[in-house]
Structures are given as C-alpha cells and as structure tokens.
Structure 1
Amino acid sequence: MPLIQVLNASPRDDETKRRLIAELTETYARVMHMKPDTIRVVIQELPRENWGVGGVTLADSGQDESIPPRRMRPSGQ
C-alpha cells in the first residue's frame, strides 16, 4: 500500500487539502496502474517558523511560494 507524504510549510484551507489529496491519488493510481483505494496520502503542515532555507526561517525570509491568481484576459487576445 503506497504512502504519499507531503510536507508543507504553508498551511492551506481544508478544501485545498481535499483537492490535493484527490489529485495526488488520481495521478499516482494512473501512473502506477493501481487502485486508488490502496493509496494513502498524509499532509504534514509545518509553521513557516519551523522551516529553514539557507539558515533562515521561511517566516523571516519573506519568501512566498504562492502563485497569484491568474487574471482573465480581455476577449479577443
């Protein structure tokens, strides 16, 4: 029984986590030719103060790994 473990330094809302779990499961099942109900996904959320890069916490680094929402293009472009 496969286990997919996600460590995330930016806590997300429940709906986003549900979507991530569903999509990881679907992708793994398709690629590995497995039944989705055999795949386990665990999300561990760590406060940004507990995650460091280059000797600095993410909270102190100012790094933001979020992608801004896409803007709609005017029609005809």
Structure 2
Amino acid sequence: MPLSCFWDCRVPEDEKKHDLLMCVSQAIATSLEVSIDSVRVIIQEIPESQWAAGGQTLAERRASEKSLI
C-alpha cells in the first residue's frame, strides 16, 4: 500500500486540498501501476510555531524574512 505524506503544505482551501489528494493519488497509482484503492495520501498540517529549522520556529523565520523586505 503506497503512502504519501505532505507536511505543512499550506493549502488553505478544502477544495484545493481535495484536488491535491486526488491528483497525487492518481499519479502514484499510475506510476507504480497499482490500484488507486491501495493508495493513501495524508496532509498533516503543523502550525509554524511548532516546526523549527536552524534553531528557529518557522513563524520566527518568516517574521525575520518579512522584516528584510
């Protein structure tokens, strides 16, 4: 059973999330030549305040990037 996970992909509209799930499912099924019924795709949304890179949360990094503009 193929499984694909998207972490914090920032897709605010449910319709676009649905489109993403359907397109990725079809692409996996086609490329692996498996039944789409066996494909699983998960969108796991994580708040930027709970995800860190380089010792800063993503929220902090985005705030500092915006201040440079």
Q: Calculate percent identity across the aligned residue pairs.
A: 33
Q: Which residue of 1 aligns with 2:37?
A: 37
Equivalence map 1:55-70=2 (5 Å): 55-62=55-62
Aligned residues: 64
Paired with 1:10 and 1:57, the residues of 2 have a C-alpha distance of 16
Contact 1:9-1:47 at 8 Å conserved across structures: no
Bigger helix share: 2
Letter in 2 for 1:27: A
Q: Which residue of 1 aligns with 2:20?
A: 20
The structure having more radius of gyration, on CA atoms, is 1
1:7-37 Cα deviation digits (max 9, x unpaired): 1163522111101101110110111011111
Letter in 2 for 1:18: H
Paired with 1:28 and 1:9, the residues of 2 have a C-alpha distance of 18
Q: Which residue of 2 aligns with 1:6?
A: 6
> In angstroms, what is the RMSD of aligned CA positions?
1.9
* Cα shift at 1:58: 0.9
Structure 1 length normalisation: TM-score?
A: 0.71
1:37 is paired with a residue of what secondary structure? Answer: helix
